[in-house]
Structure 1
Amino acid sequence: MSYDESKTINIKESKSESKGKELAGGPPPAVVATTKAASMAGGGKRGVAILDFILRLCAIAAALGATITMGTTDQTLPFFTQFFQFQASYDDLPAFSFFVVANAIASGYLVLSLPFSVVTIVRPNAVGIRLLLLVLDTVMVALTTAGAGAAAAIVYLAHKGNTSTNWVAICQQYGNFCQRVSGAVVASFIAALIFILLVLLSAVSLRRN
Structure 2
Amino acid sequence: MEPLDTNATLLIIDMQQGMNHTKLGRRNNPDAELQMQSLLGAWRQSQRPVIHVRHISRSPDSVFWPGQPGCEFQPALQPLGHEHVVEKNVPDAFTATGLERWLHVRSIRQLVIVGVITNNSVEATARSGGNLGFDVIVVADACYTFDQTDLAGRVWPAEDVHALSLSNLAMDYARVIETAEILTAGCKDLCALSASAT
Task: Please tell me the TM-score bracket, short chain as reference.
Answer: under 0.3
Structure with the greater alpha carbon radius of gyration: 1
TM-score when scaled to structure 2?
Answer: 0.26
The structure that is strand-richer by fraction is 2
The structure that is helix-richer by fraction is 1
